[in-house]
Amino acid sequence: MLKIFLIIGVLLIGGVGVFLYFRGTSIIKKAAVNKPAQVIPKKAPEPKTLTFIIEPIKPASVSGTLVLSESQQKAQLNLNLRNTLKNNLQPASLRKGSCAKPGESVYGLSSVENGNSLTILDIPIAGLLYRAPLAIMIYRDPQNPTTPVACGDFKIR
Protein backbone atom coordinates (compact mmCIF):
# COMPACT_ATOMS: atom_id res chain seq x y z
CA MET A 1 0.00 0.00 0.00
CA LEU A 2 2.84 2.32 0.82
CA LYS A 3 4.28 1.69 -2.64
CA ILE A 4 1.03 2.76 -4.27
CA PHE A 5 0.97 6.02 -2.28
CA LEU A 6 4.58 6.67 -3.22
CA ILE A 7 3.88 6.05 -6.90
CA ILE A 8 0.77 8.28 -6.82
CA GLY A 9 2.73 10.97 -4.94
CA VAL A 10 5.57 10.89 -7.45
CA LEU A 11 3.12 11.05 -10.35
CA LEU A 12 1.24 13.97 -8.76
CA ILE A 13 4.40 15.91 -8.00
CA GLY A 14 5.77 15.17 -11.48
CA GLY A 15 2.47 16.13 -13.11
CA VAL A 16 2.29 19.39 -11.17
CA GLY A 17 5.94 20.13 -12.10
CA VAL A 18 5.25 19.50 -15.80
CA PHE A 19 2.09 21.62 -15.62
CA LEU A 20 3.92 24.53 -13.97
CA TYR A 21 6.81 24.24 -16.38
CA PHE A 22 4.63 24.56 -19.47
CA ARG A 23 2.35 27.12 -17.89
CA GLY A 24 5.37 29.25 -16.93
CA THR A 25 6.73 29.12 -20.47
CA SER A 26 3.48 30.37 -21.96
CA ILE A 27 3.41 33.23 -19.46
CA ILE A 28 6.92 34.20 -20.49
CA LYS A 29 6.00 34.05 -24.17
CA LYS A 30 2.91 36.20 -23.61
CA ALA A 31 4.91 38.73 -21.63
CA ALA A 32 7.50 38.95 -24.40
CA VAL A 33 4.82 39.50 -27.04
CA ASN A 34 3.03 42.20 -25.03
CA LYS A 35 6.23 43.90 -23.83
CA PRO A 36 6.69 47.42 -25.23
CA ALA A 37 9.64 48.04 -27.54
CA GLN A 38 12.89 48.69 -25.75
CA VAL A 39 14.24 52.20 -26.21
CA ILE A 40 17.90 52.05 -27.20
CA PRO A 41 19.75 55.30 -26.50
CA LYS A 42 21.27 56.84 -29.59
CA LYS A 43 25.01 57.24 -29.86
CA ALA A 44 26.09 60.85 -29.45
CA PRO A 45 26.10 62.48 -32.88
CA GLU A 46 29.49 63.04 -34.42
CA PRO A 47 30.36 66.63 -35.23
CA LYS A 48 29.19 67.60 -38.69
CA THR A 49 31.68 70.46 -39.05
CA LEU A 50 35.37 70.56 -38.18
CA THR A 51 37.72 73.50 -38.63
CA PHE A 52 41.48 73.25 -39.16
CA ILE A 53 43.95 76.13 -39.05
CA ILE A 54 46.13 76.79 -42.10
CA GLU A 55 49.42 78.48 -41.19
CA PRO A 56 51.98 80.18 -43.43
CA ILE A 57 55.24 78.54 -44.41
CA LYS A 58 57.89 81.26 -44.29
CA PRO A 59 58.56 83.49 -46.15
CA ALA A 60 54.94 83.31 -47.43
CA SER A 61 52.12 84.90 -45.43
CA VAL A 62 49.20 82.78 -46.65
CA SER A 63 46.97 81.61 -43.77
CA GLY A 64 43.35 80.77 -43.03
CA THR A 65 41.08 77.81 -42.32
CA LEU A 66 39.80 74.61 -43.80
CA VAL A 67 36.20 73.90 -42.82
CA LEU A 68 35.30 70.24 -43.17
CA SER A 69 31.60 69.36 -43.36
CA GLU A 70 29.50 66.52 -44.73
CA SER A 71 26.50 66.32 -47.01
CA GLN A 72 24.96 63.07 -48.26
CA GLN A 73 27.94 61.00 -47.01
CA LYS A 74 30.41 63.19 -48.93
CA ALA A 75 33.11 65.29 -47.28
CA GLN A 76 33.14 68.96 -48.25
CA LEU A 77 36.42 70.82 -47.79
CA ASN A 78 36.09 74.58 -47.88
CA LEU A 79 39.38 76.51 -47.87
CA ASN A 80 39.26 80.19 -46.87
CA LEU A 81 42.67 81.82 -47.10
CA ARG A 82 44.14 85.30 -46.64
CA ASN A 83 47.14 86.85 -48.44
CA THR A 84 46.84 84.65 -51.52
CA LEU A 85 48.05 85.68 -54.94
CA LYS A 86 45.35 87.70 -56.73
CA ASN A 87 43.93 86.22 -59.94
CA ASN A 88 46.14 83.18 -59.62
CA LEU A 89 45.27 79.53 -59.04
CA GLN A 90 47.08 77.88 -56.16
CA PRO A 91 47.08 74.05 -56.08
CA ALA A 92 46.12 72.32 -52.83
CA SER A 93 46.23 68.73 -51.61
CA LEU A 94 45.78 66.44 -48.63
CA ARG A 95 48.97 64.53 -47.91
CA LYS A 96 49.77 61.70 -45.52
CA GLY A 97 51.66 62.75 -42.42
CA SER A 98 51.97 66.24 -40.99
CA CYS A 99 53.17 69.68 -42.02
CA ALA A 100 56.55 68.90 -40.43
CA LYS A 101 56.83 65.58 -42.31
CA PRO A 102 54.45 65.48 -45.28
CA GLY A 103 54.14 62.20 -47.16
CA GLU A 104 52.53 61.27 -50.45
CA SER A 105 49.43 63.00 -51.78
CA VAL A 106 46.17 61.29 -50.78
CA TYR A 107 43.62 63.66 -52.35
CA GLY A 108 44.03 66.55 -54.75
CA LEU A 109 41.84 69.50 -53.79
CA SER A 110 40.33 72.17 -56.01
CA SER A 111 42.82 74.97 -56.62
CA VAL A 112 42.50 78.06 -54.46
CA GLU A 113 41.31 81.09 -56.44
CA ASN A 114 41.23 84.51 -54.79
CA GLY A 115 41.48 82.87 -51.37
CA ASN A 116 38.69 80.29 -51.72
CA SER A 117 38.31 76.67 -52.76
CA LEU A 118 35.56 74.10 -52.38
CA THR A 119 36.24 70.39 -52.89
CA ILE A 120 33.69 67.60 -52.52
CA LEU A 121 35.16 64.15 -51.96
CA ASP A 122 33.23 60.91 -52.43
CA ILE A 123 34.09 59.79 -48.89
CA PRO A 124 32.37 60.59 -45.56
CA ILE A 125 34.15 62.59 -42.84
CA ALA A 126 34.70 59.37 -40.87
CA GLY A 127 36.68 57.98 -43.81
CA LEU A 128 38.97 61.00 -43.80
CA LEU A 129 39.37 60.89 -40.03
CA TYR A 130 40.33 57.24 -40.33
CA ARG A 131 43.23 58.22 -42.62
CA ALA A 132 44.52 60.95 -40.25
CA PRO A 133 47.04 62.33 -39.63
CA LEU A 134 46.99 64.28 -42.87
CA ALA A 135 48.46 67.61 -43.91
CA ILE A 136 46.57 70.23 -45.94
CA MET A 137 49.15 71.75 -48.30
CA ILE A 138 48.70 74.94 -50.34
CA TYR A 139 51.27 75.56 -53.10
CA ARG A 140 52.61 78.77 -54.65
CA ASP A 141 51.14 78.32 -58.14
CA PRO A 142 50.63 75.69 -60.86
CA GLN A 143 54.16 76.35 -62.16
CA ASN A 144 55.58 75.63 -58.67
CA PRO A 145 53.40 72.76 -57.43
CA THR A 146 56.16 71.56 -55.09
CA THR A 147 56.68 74.90 -53.31
CA PRO A 148 54.28 75.02 -50.35
CA VAL A 149 53.20 78.41 -49.01
CA ALA A 150 50.81 77.23 -46.27
CA CYS A 151 49.97 74.09 -44.38
CA GLY A 152 47.55 72.79 -41.75
CA ASP A 153 47.64 69.58 -39.77
CA PHE A 154 44.49 67.52 -40.20
CA LYS A 155 44.35 65.55 -36.97
CA ILE A 156 41.94 64.80 -34.17
CA ARG A 157 43.22 65.10 -30.63
For the chain, the structural domain boundaries read 49-154
> According to the model, what pLDDT value does residue 154 have?
81
Q: What is the average pLDDT value for the chain, to the nearest integer?
A: 81
In the predicted structure, residue 128 carries a pLDDT above the cut 50? yes
Contact 137, 147 (CB under 8 A): no
**Nearest partner of 136 among 89, 70, 91, 86, judged by Cα:** 91
- Cβ-count burial of 117 within 10 angstroms (0-12 exposed, 13-18 middle, 19+ buried)? buried
The CATH architecture of the domain made up of 49-154 is: Sandwich (2.60)
pLDDT on residue 37: 53
27: confidence class by pLDDT, cuts 50, 70, 90: very low
pLDDT at residue number 40: 56
